[in-house]
Chain A
Amino acid sequence: MKITRRTAVVGGLSTTLIGSGRLLLHADSAVAQKVEGAEIKIGVVVPVTGPAADVGKREAIGAQAAVDVINAKGGADGRPLKLYFADEGSNPQEAISAVRKVAGDDNVLVIVGPHYSSTAEATFPLGNRLKIVQVAVASSKPGVAKANRPYAFRNTLTEDKIADAVVKAAQGRYGLKRVAIISDTKDAVARSLGMAVLPAALQANNIEIVTGKDPVTFQTGDAQFTAQVTRLKSLTPDAIALGAVGPDALNIILESRKQGMSQPFLGTAPLMEGNLPERGGKAVDGTLAGSIWDVVLNDAGSIAFKDAYAVRAKTMYPGAFTQVPDYYPANAYDAVFMIRDAIVQGGVQNRPDTLELDRDRIKDYFSKMRDFRGIASRGFNEDGDGIKDVIVMEAKNGHWQPIIAA
């Protein structure tokens, strides 16, 4: 066949067009698609009943605050975002039903949640079977997202990274040589902190662990800690490392002061739950913890978040328990902005016939997201865990105050 200039041009154009068409259809397309539909559905699976109800409500408010800000600026590619809430009831069984509901009945593109690592360990495998992305906003037990690739993401920083920064800060501040560890045996994150993360961080910084391989133990929500503190006191450590969430940590510290201990305490992000400095007063001064965001921060993004949160808190779940945002709603707020970026830049079409494809597009976009600029989020690493900056905080005069940004 004689190839003329004309046939070559036509052929070339056809190849290009067909190729482009294939690209447009391909899930990994980097070419932005027109977003369609009356609304963009996002699921929010957080606890609004059960033991984690208060923090779950704050997460729901954080997510809705982000939607308010995004929709006020025209939504995602001109389409408004709409949240579909389902209560995960603070337990894995209900969390599974909630994920099934928003994924199967509401046909959402992506899910913000769940809350605990123990619930994420149940719902992440389900997300993989349903092929829908979940972005947990509190779970920080190391390895949970890694074990559930490719649809599991956590917009949180795993505790090992926070622990190292806090231990270094505590060593600098108190010159620690001998530290005792007290650990929860029930809560997934606190247990992994006390049994694995804190020992590793202390050993890495050449600090002797006076409790050896068996830390002093308790269970989440215990009403009393006298036996544990009496034992800690008998070991005369320089400081006590807490594998505990804030409310339990507060009781441990207060009990230690009652028994005459004056040593400092240190822990990681779970310590930031439950307003420890506000509730503990002078007794908890000098306690060190690590976080990725706190309400005391006043950069432009944090102020915008706090303003939007305050407006929503008045209408969604008004009350003292939801008034002040902590880092969990900040994570939820960022997660919705991350989803907005994934929709606009990841080629999501938002049509009923492209639902499965769109869910994959969000997964693919998140897998490569490394340079997001949120108030407390930078994207996800190869394990699906959040990339974030660590802020070491000190309890001082009834508030957490940042001392180091690592």
Chain B
Amino acid sequence: MLAQQIVNGFTLGSTYALIAIGYTLVLGVLKKLNLAHGELFMAGAFTGIGAASLGAPLLVSLLAGFVAAGLIAVAIERTCFYPLRHANFLSPMLSTIAFGLFLQGLATQIFGSDPSRFPVSGASFQIQFATLSISAIHIVILATAFGLMIGIDLLVNRTRWGIAVRAASDDAETAAQQGMSVSALTMTTFLVSGALAGAAGVLTTLVYSQVNPFIGIRQGLIGMVAMVIGGLGNLRGAMIGGLAIGLIETMNDAYFTAGYRDFVIFFIFFVFLVFRPQGLFPVRQER
């Protein structure tokens, strides 16, 4: 059973990692805290379900969730951050809470408060290794999640765009003098961040079946925990943090009791905040 639970943990953790990377892009790199990030996960999931309900194949549903959540993230940047760029840091943060509540209300009106799910598909293909069984959908999720993680890592660390984003984050004024459009860089960072959350939303509903308008609250918090454990601003750290939380959660549910799950996770969060706020992989080690 242990090997199966480790696979379960990695699959769950890979979706948490995608959320954490989105968080860390905006908070760690841009120094902006988007508290509606969990709702982007929810919006992506619902968009994917909507597309699948209309008969779209899996890849199209995934892309729909990816794009929709990315665009909503840009809307958040344009409405909650850009107009308040000179205000106290609390103002845009509180605005994102309001935006998140708006998204929850909108989803409730459109999809209802009862959980929605992907249309039931036929029997899924299973790969069997002794007592270990991995379904095709698990492989799709792991492959997509790890593909996205590696892609984002390369994008931020190896491309001109990534270098520009990090430069604008360090010193926006100098970056602007160098001819970079800080506004455009910020928007694209939000776009990528939201798209990752949206992809995580679609992947989660694919394997775990259900989503309701309030699911983003916990997913957002878990993403934040993963980000802090991994190290603020460190994309690879966020990946490892997400995978670690997925494994911890799975082992807790399998061998302990689900009632203590959040206690365990948020206790770890607390310990990191107090004793190692820089996380496992502080950002300076990367640069």
- Decide: B115 and A247 in contact? CB cutoff 8 A: yes
- Decide: A227 and B115 in contact? CB cutoff 8 A: no
Bound-complex Cα distance A224 to B12 (A): 8
- Decide: A230 and B115 in contact? CB cutoff 8 A: no
Enumerate chain B residues within 8 angstroms of A51, measured Cβ to Cβ. 113, 212, 214
A62-89 interface (Cβ within 8 A of B): none
Task: Choose the segment among A199-207, A274-282, A286-294, A364-372 that binds chain B (4+ C-beta atoms closer than 8 Å).
Answer: A274-282
B217-270 interface (Cβ within 8 A of A): 219, 249-251, 253-254, 257-259, 261-262
Bound-complex Cα distance A247 to B259 (A): 19
Bound-complex Cα distance A247 to B116 (A): 9
Among A90, A222, A230, A321, which residue has the most Cβ atoms of chain B within 10 A? Answer: A230
Query: B2-36: contact bitstring with A at CB < 8 Å (1 yes, 0 no)?
Result: 00110011011000000000000000000000000
Enumerate chain B residues within 8 angstroms of A251, measured Cβ to Cβ. 208-210
Task: Choose the segment among A94-102, A166-174, A213-221 that binds chain B (4+ C-beta atoms closer than 8 Å).
Answer: A213-221
Query: A236-261: contact bitstring with B at CB < 8 Å (1 yes, 0 no)?
Result: 00000000000100110011001110
Interface bin, chain B: 35 or more
The answer, yes or no, to whether B172 is at the interface (CB within 8 Å) is no
- Decide: B114 and A274 in contact? CB cutoff 8 A: yes
Query: A40-56: contact bitstring with B at CB < 8 Å (1 yes, 0 no)?
Result: 00000000011111110
Bound-complex Cα distance A273 to B112 (A): 14
The answer, yes or no, to whether A223 is at the interface (CB within 8 Å) is yes
- Decide: B114 and A219 in contact? CB cutoff 8 A: no
The answer, yes or no, to whether A27 is at the interface (CB within 8 Å) is no
Interface bin, chain A: 35 or more
- Decide: A320 and B209 in contact? CB cutoff 8 A: no
B44-80 interface (Cβ within 8 A of A): none
Could you say which of A224, A230, A260, A274 contacts B1, with CB atoms under 8 Å apart? A230
- Decide: A231 and B257 in contact? CB cutoff 8 A: no
- Decide: A321 and B112 in contact? CB cutoff 8 A: yes
- Decide: B253 and A228 in contact? CB cutoff 8 A: yes
- Decide: A219 and B261 in contact? CB cutoff 8 A: yes
Bound-complex Cα distance A303 to B8 (A): 47
Enumerate chain A residues within 8 angstroms of B212, measured Cβ to Cβ. 51, 221, 247
- Decide: B108 and A53 in contact? CB cutoff 8 A: yes
Bound-complex Cα distance A240 to B133 (A): 21
Bound-complex Cα distance A144 to B110 (A): 34
Q: Which residue of chain B has the shortest Cβ distance to A260 in the bound complex?
A: B133
Enumerate chain A residues within 8 angstroms of B249, measured Cβ to Cβ. 227
Bound-complex Cα distance A218 to B113 (A): 20
- Decide: A258 and B135 in contact? CB cutoff 8 A: yes
Bound-complex Cα distance A234 to B4 (A): 11
- Decide: A283 and B120 in contact? CB cutoff 8 A: yes
- Decide: A185 and B126 in contact? CB cutoff 8 A: no
Among B214, B250, B258, which residue has the most Cβ atoms of chain A within 10 A? Answer: B258
Enumerate chain A residues within 8 angstroms of B1, measured Cβ to Cβ. 230-231, 234
The answer, yes or no, to whether B124 is at the interface (CB within 8 Å) is yes
Q: Which residue of chain B has the shortest Cβ distance to A282 in the bound complex?
A: B120
Take A185-B257, A221-B215, A231-B254 as given contacts and tell me if A254 and B112 are in contact as well, using a CB distance cutoff of 8 Å.
no
What's the least CB distance linking B247 to chain A, in Å?
Answer: 10
Bound-complex Cα distance A227 to B133 (A): 13
- Decide: A54 and B112 in contact? CB cutoff 8 A: yes
Bound-complex Cα distance A247 to B257 (A): 20
- Decide: B120 and A247 in contact? CB cutoff 8 A: no
- Decide: A219 and B259 in contact? CB cutoff 8 A: yes
Could you say which of A214, A223, A279 contacts B211, with CB atoms under 8 Å apart? A223
The answer, yes or no, to whether A319 is at the interface (CB within 8 Å) is yes
The answer, yes or no, to whether B117 is at the interface (CB within 8 Å) is yes
- Decide: B258 and A226 in contact? CB cutoff 8 A: no
Enumerate chain B residues within 8 angstroms of A321, measured Cβ to Cβ. 112-114
Q: Which residue of chain B has the shortest Cβ distance to A320 in the bound complex?
A: B112
Known: A218-B258, A223-B204, A321-B112. 6 other contacts (CB 8 A): A52-B113, A219-B258, A219-B261, A224-B208, A227-B249, A320-B112
Interface residues of B (CB under 8 A from A): 1, 4-5, 8-9, 11-12, 105, 108, 112-115, 117, 120, 124, 126, 133, 135, 137, 204-205, 207-212, 214-215, 219, 249-251, 253-254, 257-259, 261-262
Q: Name the 7 nearest CB pairs between A and B, nearest first.
A: A185-B259, A321-B112, A224-B208, A217-B258, A53-B113, A226-B8, A227-B253
Report 24 cross-chain contacts, Cβ distance below 8 Å, ordered by A residue. A50-B214, A51-B212, A53-B108, A53-B112, A54-B114, A185-B258, A218-B253, A219-B262, A221-B210, A223-B204, A223-B210, A224-B204, A226-B250, A227-B253, A230-B254, A231-B1, A247-B114, A247-B115, A251-B210, A255-B208, A258-B137, A273-B114, A274-B115, A320-B112
